[in-house]
Amino acid sequence: MTLPPIALPDEASLPFFKGLAHGHLSVQLCGRCGTAQLGNPECSDCGSTALDWRPASGRGTIHSFTRIHIAYHQAFADLVPYWTGLIELEEGPRLFGRLLCDAGVRPRTDGPVEVVIEQLGDEVFVPNFRCLADHRQGEP
Ligand SMILES: [Zn+2]
């Protein structure tokens, strides 16, 4: 199996990747203002460094999406065509992930999703997002 290019954890994001390895998505919460974020060394809202990682709900909505028809890396050759999207988590932060939709189901903006953590290698885990039921009522 050829692994796709992946982000390498740094000091600020390592807890995020460790959370995925333990089966959950996590976000940072600012101890001063309560803003949720992902992988920042300091709060994006108030600048505080008092950030703690907490498990996230794993639920969110689609902010935007597109369908990928060309495999730009051989690791994706068996996946095309596939949906990918920018997901806004219930806690607020946004991140990209592949969208897993049932056959014939098209994602829609603001459609609900839930995280599905995929293991790609011994220590490589990525968040994908499953399209939830009401996508069937979305765009044709
Ligand atoms: Zn803050």
Cα-to-centroid distance, 37 and ligand 1 (Å):
9
Cα–Cα distance for residue pair 104/62, rounded to 1 Å: 18
Question: Pseudo-torsion of CA 103, 70, 20, 87, nearest 10°?
Answer: -70
Tell me which residues have their CB within 5 A of the ion that is ligand 1: 30, 32-33, 35, 43, 45-46, 48
* pLDDT for 5: 81
Question: Pseudo-torsion of CA 84, 6, 79, 107, nearest 10°?
Answer: -10
DSSP labels, 85-110: EEEEETTS-EEEEEEE--TTPPP-TT
Domains (ranges, CATH) in the chain? 10-56 (no CATH), 57-140 (2.40.50)
- 59-94 pLDDT, tens per residue? 999 999 999 999 988 988 999 999 999 999 999 999
Tokens read off for 74: 């051989």
Cα–Cα distance for residue pair 60/108, rounded to 1 Å: 13
- 1-32 pLDDT, tens per residue? 677 888 788 888 999 999 999 999 999 999 99
* pLDDT for 69: 96
- 81-131 pLDDT, tens per residue? 999 999 999 999 999 999 999 888 889 999 999 999 999 888 889 999 999
Q: Side chain identity at 55, as an amino acid letter?
A: P
Cα-to-centroid distance, 36 and ligand 1 (Å):
8
Give the confidence band of 135 by pLDDT, cuts at 50, 70, 90: low
